[in-house]
Amino acid sequence: MKKVVFFVLLAVLALALMPVTAQDQPFAGQKVVVVTQEGSAIGGPAEKYGAEWAALTGAEVEVQRFAFGDLFPKIITALQTGTGEFDVMIYASDWMGDIAGGGYVLPIPDSVKEAVEWDDILPLYRERIANWGGVTYAVPFDGDSHMMYYRKDLVNPESAYAADFQAQYGYPLDEPQTWSQYADIAEFFQGKEVDTAGVVAPIYGVAEALRKNAQSFWFLMSRAGGYAKVPGDPYFFFDENMTPLVNTPGWVQGLQDWIDIYGCCAAPDMINFDVVNVRAVFPAGQTVFGLDWGDVGPITVDPNSSVVQGLAGFGTLPGAERYWDRASGAWVDAEGGVNKAPFIAFGGWVISVAADSDVADAAFDYVTYLSNKELAGVLATTGGTGVNPLRQSQFDSLDLWTGAGFDEASAQDYLDAVLSTINDPNNIVDLRIPGAFEYFSALDQGIAKAITGELDAQAALDEVAAAWDAITERLGRENQLKLYKESLGIQ
């Protein structure tokens, strides 16, 4: 009898506990497959915090990581062939045209928006980057824009090199405001023996991602911005008829500048640099300048990766003294002496849930966990995560940054540079139409030819323009134009 009572009590206890367990681990037995890029940037947090989420919810998370160059083909092939391989995709917002535009992802439910404190995300990302055709298809995971890094211990009016520089170039040595000043400073320092954290060694001018099949096209866009973006005119890549603007004189000047600086003042092997190299070389004190997304900032304060702690200055991208006005067909002197057109390159990583996911609820819960406000703050201030600031709260709290190793002045400098880029009325939002990857690849090809002298800058970009035209024609000019205008916010 005692045994019977014991087993009955045990059964009652088990039954009583079952709902608790089910509530605690709501996705037990479900498997969420995530796809993103390899390496510590983006892929690292997806895996690390995915494991945390899995432990909490009882679900299983499998993060499949691919090299950046292979990521788009992997995702789009899986979606198009309907293999249902991936439930969650963490991808470049530039690909929204193909991914959201193709109807392959689910709209973000209001409950997810509420859980991730949607209104804290800067309007640029939550209203433009995350949307396609007026519908929100993604949660912004990373706020991306290009910026300039420089050695502020060397490049400042009080620097030991200031007098020599002034004598040689006729203006004070300070954070460059134009690409020509940037080139002058790079040339001035190229090969000079300078002191970096007690070690005297030659320094090079610039570290920029010039490698083929990597990110070079984004950096040309950054370099061309000041010369080719007309204030008040939203068109930068194409005009109102979808005619490419990539071979207009502004773009050509941007490319010519790059060819020149590569010839005079580049770090060794820069032709094979992608951003990973830039993120190693600049913090290692090997160059005066580095161009990158916001990632270098937190790396410079990491004692394990940087010898330039407290020596790095942060600035918006330089601009140009004059810009090419496509309407008048002439160069125009910039108002105030500089036309700055910072570039919201790439637009950041976004997270979407596949429309054919069998575990959409679990997938959205994973997305919520990965995009929550607290975690976003941790990731943005940690070097190597690939996550840059994208929430208002991250700009309001200096403590967040000083706690991560920045001194107060550096933190303010860094946040100012990021925020100035995002808020600049003349900034450029990346190309976000179907086929973006192919347009970029054609530009990549043109840059590669021009840098190695196979073609001059004009001829290379003429070839790119022809390729862009052919792509547009093939994908349907009318539809491409409609989507391009939509991406610019033009109805």
Give the interface with another protein as residue ranges (CB under 8 A): 69, 72-73, 76-77, 80-82, 97-98, 100-103, 132-133, 135, 137, 211-214, 267-269, 271-272, 433-435, 437-438, 441, 445, 448-449, 451-454, 463, 471, 474-476, 479-480, 482-483
Tokens of 462: 């003429």
- Closest distance of CB 274 from another protein, Å: 8
Token pair 């109102």 is found at 240
Would you call 321 exposed, middle or buried from its count of C-beta atoms within 10 A (0-12, 13-18, 19+)? middle
Alpha-carbon gap, residue 182 to 427, rounded angstroms: 19
119 vs 454, which CB is nearer to another protein?
454
- At CA 345, angle to CA 344 and CA 346, rounded to 5? 115
202 vs 337, which CB is nearer to another protein?
202
- Closest distance of CB 272 from another protein, Å: 6
- Closest distance of CB 480 from another protein, Å: 6
157 vs 453, which CB is nearer to another protein?
453
- At CA 432, angle to CA 431 and CA 437, rounded to 5? 80
Spell out the residues 6+ positions from residue 117 whose beta carbon is closer than 8 angstroms to its own.
Answer: 372, 373, 391
- Closest distance of CB 136 from another protein, Å: 11
Q: At 261, phi and psi to the nearest 5?
A: -70, -30
- Closest distance of CB 271 from another protein, Å: 5
- Closest distance of CB 258 from another protein, Å: 14
Alpha-carbon gap, residue 280 to 233, rounded angstroms: 37
Alpha-carbon gap, residue 88 to 42, rounded angstroms: 13
- Closest distance of CB 471 from another protein, Å: 8
> How many beta carbons lie within 10 A of that of residue 332, not counting itself?
14
289 vs 414, which CB is nearer to another protein?
289
3-state class (DSSP) for residue 263: helix
Q: At 65, phi and psi to the nearest 5?
A: -115, 135
Strand-pair category, 131-132 with 349-353: unpaired
41 vs 471, which CB is nearer to another protein?
471
- Closest distance of CB 268 from another protein, Å: 4
3-state class (DSSP) for residue 327: coil
- Closest distance of CB 193 from another protein, Å: 16
Token pair 């005119």 is found at 233
- Closest distance of CB 483 from another protein, Å: 7
- Closest distance of CB 333 from another protein, Å: 35
133 vs 157, which CB is nearer to another protein?
133
- Closest distance of CB 131 from another protein, Å: 9
337 vs 453, which CB is nearer to another protein?
453
103 vs 337, which CB is nearer to another protein?
103
3-state class (DSSP) for residue 320: strand
Alpha-carbon gap, residue 425 to 232, rounded angstroms: 8
3-state class (DSSP) for residue 199: strand
298 vs 434, which CB is nearer to another protein?
434
74 vs 322, which CB is nearer to another protein?
74
Cross-sheet strand order for the sheet of 312-315: 204-207, 287-292, 147-151, 312-315
- Closest distance of CB 210 from another protein, Å: 9
Q: At 344, phi and psi to the nearest 5?
A: -80, 65
Alpha-carbon gap, residue 253 to 461, rounded angstroms: 11
80 vs 168, which CB is nearer to another protein?
80
DSSP 353-408: EBTT-TTHHHHHHHHHHHT-HHHHHHHHTSTTS-----BHHHHH-HHHHHTTT--H
- At CA 96, angle to CA 65 and CA 460, rounded to 5? 90
How many residues in the chain? 491
Spell out the residues 6+ positions from residue 83 whose beta carbon is closer than 8 angstroms to its own.
Answer: none
358 vs 454, which CB is nearer to another protein?
454
428 vs 433, which CB is nearer to another protein?
433
